[in-house]
């Protein structure tokens, strides 16, 4: 590969692999959890302080969006994010800001509650859906709004104009939004649950949300809503009862510590194993990471790897030579879809054939071409990735392309396994999920250099 033929750009990295990564990484706040905390902040008229808030691109974009609708929001030097939502939004969403990230869609229920109208647009983020150009679905958000009594006023190329003088409580079964009702999984299930909880917090009366998506980002949303005065009850079996309670009465000052980023945790833990080193993650709330990653740890155990906690640190035990082939399903209630590319990379070391079946984002295998270029034996069809091993990433001199956030992270880790140079385009995707992944990898002993002008 002739690196000089690649045009210098902030989107390109040169990776020199073959070095073991070792050390400890302090976890940032959970990206998906922070999005939900900010969505809750738009409910009522309160002041909020979010400690351990993430520092990646989506967090910064959310602050810009809030400021654009005249809700003061900023990050203090300590890293704490302060949001003063004591007054209702004074403006509608700016189209370009709204479209810049996926998490903006969850601000719609709060905007409807304050202004009685809002425009829902296809949001940004990684394009990993089944729509045109791999776009993500968003009509399920409209259906949820309509179930709560909202109305569609107009559809246009700019978005869907919604109106609701006052949302009303209802009884929803999230199975209606699960493409796979047996496993309660699919691309709409998680988003419909979060959207329904937010609508319920703004609606008159108490709503019942049956079979909700149960993971850490929803737990974060429910925690912040409770702190702000909302009525939240967990029923036997996991169903929810949610209502406004005292959410819209008076003004509260609330401080909340964002849960650690569990996808980042899996990124770093994978980095240690695949390079033959030992990388630990640390957090004062490491027990929350353990709880949130239980499905992932069960998958690692099935592969022959373990996990251990010492104080505030967590690490994975075992090596690539210990990994056994497995057949895993990625479901909304199980292993995070965001983690799937890292499991695939680990399974390239298994002696035999493994499969990963995606039941959330069925097209989330854009990294597979890059693994093949690096010498792995992988193929995918009908939502299943087949991995024949042991065929580790070993072929140097490749030019790879990443099309989304987690694919970029997985391919960087794969390139670090190669004894030689790899060039990766798509580096800028990483900013949506990591503050500085290349810099953190360099601190662990890796060589990942931006190929900028």
168 and 231 part of one domain: yes
245 and 339 part of one domain: no
Q: Which residue has better confidence, 99 or 214?
A: 214
Average pLDDT rounded to a whole number, residues 264-279? 97
- pLDDT for 213: 97
Single out the residue in 231, 257, 283 at which a domain terminates: 257
Q: Rounded to the nearest 10 degrees, what angle do helices 216-227 and 189-202 cross at? A: 10
186 and 216 part of one domain: yes
pLDDT at 194 over 90: yes
pLDDT digits (tens, 9 = 90+) for 77-95: 999 999 999 999 988 888 8
Single out the residue in 257, 288, 317 at which a domain terminates: 257
The domain in which residue 152 lies consists of: 31-257
157 and 238 part of one domain: yes
- pLDDT for 5: 64
- The pTM (predicted TM-score) of the whole model is 0.95
Q: What whole-number percentage of the chain has pLDDT above 90?
A: 86
132 and 242 part of one domain: yes
pLDDT at 102 over 90: no
Peptide bond into 193 cis (omega under 30): no
pLDDT at 166 over 80: yes
pLDDT at 2 over 80: no
CA angle 274, 278, 284 (to 5 degrees): 120
220 and 281 part of one domain: no
- pLDDT for 158: 74
Q: Which two tokens stand for residue 211?
A: 């079979």
Average pLDDT rounded to a whole number, residues 399-414? 96
213 and 341 part of one domain: no
pLDDT at 342 over 80: yes
pLDDT at 270 over 90: yes
Q: How confident is the model at residue 3 (pLDDT cuts 50, 70, 90)?
A: low
pLDDT digits (tens, 9 = 90+) for 199-216: 999 999 999 999 999 999
- pLDDT for 1: 55
Average pLDDT rounded to a whole number, residues 318-327? 96
Q: Give me the CATH number covering residue 70.
A: 3.65.10.10
- pLDDT for 160: 87
288 and 237 part of one domain: no
Single out the residue in 221, 237, 257 at which a domain terminates: 257
pLDDT at 137 over 90: no
220 and 341 part of one domain: no
Q: How confident is the model at residue 135 (pLDDT cuts 50, 70, 90)?
A: confident
Residue that has been written with the tokens 């609606």 in this structure: 203
103 and 209 part of one domain: yes
145 and 213 part of one domain: yes
213 and 277 part of one domain: no
pLDDT at 295 over 90: yes
pLDDT at 4 over 70: no
Q: How many domains would you assign to the chain?
A: 2
């Amino acid at each position: 590969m002739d690196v000089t033929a690649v045009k210098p750009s902030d989107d390109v990295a040169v990776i020199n692999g073959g070095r073991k990564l070792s050390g400890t990484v302090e976890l940032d706040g959970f990206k998906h959890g922070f999005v939900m905390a900010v969505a809750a902040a738009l409910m009522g008229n309160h002041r909020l302080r979010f400690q351990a808030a993430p520092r990646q691109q989506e967090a910064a974009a959310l602050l810009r969006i809030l400021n654009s609708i005249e809700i003061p929001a900023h990050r203090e030097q300590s890293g704490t994010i302060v949001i003063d939502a004591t007054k209702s939004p004074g403006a509608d969403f700016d189209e370009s800001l709204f479209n810049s990230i996926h998490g903006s869609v969850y601000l719609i229920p709060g905007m409807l509650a304050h202004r009685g109208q809002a425009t829902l647009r296809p949001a940004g983020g990684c394009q990993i859906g089944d729509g045109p150009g791999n776009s993500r679905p968003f009509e399920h958000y409209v259906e949820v709004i309509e179930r709560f009594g909202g109305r569609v006023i107009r559809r246009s190329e700019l978005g869907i104009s919604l109106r609701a003088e006052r949302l009303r409580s209802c009884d929803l079964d999230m199975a209606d939004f699960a493409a796979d009702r047996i496993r309660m999984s699919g691309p709409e299930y998680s988003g419909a649950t979060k959207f329904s909880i937010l609508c319920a917090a703004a609606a008159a009366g108490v709503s019942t949300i049956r079979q909700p998506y149960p993971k850490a980002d929803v737990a974060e949303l429910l925690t912040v809503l409770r702190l702000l005065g909302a009525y939240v009850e967990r029923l036997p079996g996991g169903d929810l009862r949610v209502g406004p309670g005292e959410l819209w009465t008076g003004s509260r000052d609330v401080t909340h510590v964002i849960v650690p980023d569990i996808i980042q945790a899996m990124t770093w833990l994978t980095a240690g194993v695949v390079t033959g080193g030992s990388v630990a993650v640390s957090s004062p709330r490491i027990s929350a990471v353990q709880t949130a990653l239980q499905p992932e740890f069960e998958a690692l155990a099935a592969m022959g790897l373990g996990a251990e906690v010492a104080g505030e640190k967590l690490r994975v035990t075992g090596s690539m030579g210990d990994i056994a082939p497995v057949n895993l399903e990625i479901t909304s209630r199980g292993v995070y879809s965001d983690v799937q590319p890292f499991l695939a990379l680990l399974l390239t070391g298994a002696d035999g054939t493994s499969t990963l079946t995606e039941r959330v984002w069925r097209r989330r295998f854009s990294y597979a071409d890059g693994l093949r270029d690096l010498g792995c034996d992988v193929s995918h069809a009908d939502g299943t990735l087949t991995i024949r091993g042991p065929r580790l990433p070993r072929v140097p001199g490749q030019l790879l392309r990443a099309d989304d956030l987690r694919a970029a992270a997985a391919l960087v880790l794969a390139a670090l396994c190669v004894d030689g140079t790899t060039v990766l385009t798509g580096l800028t995707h990483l900013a949506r999920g990591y503050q500085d992944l290349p810099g953190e990898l360099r601190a662990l002993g890796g060589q990942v250099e931006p190929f900028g002008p």
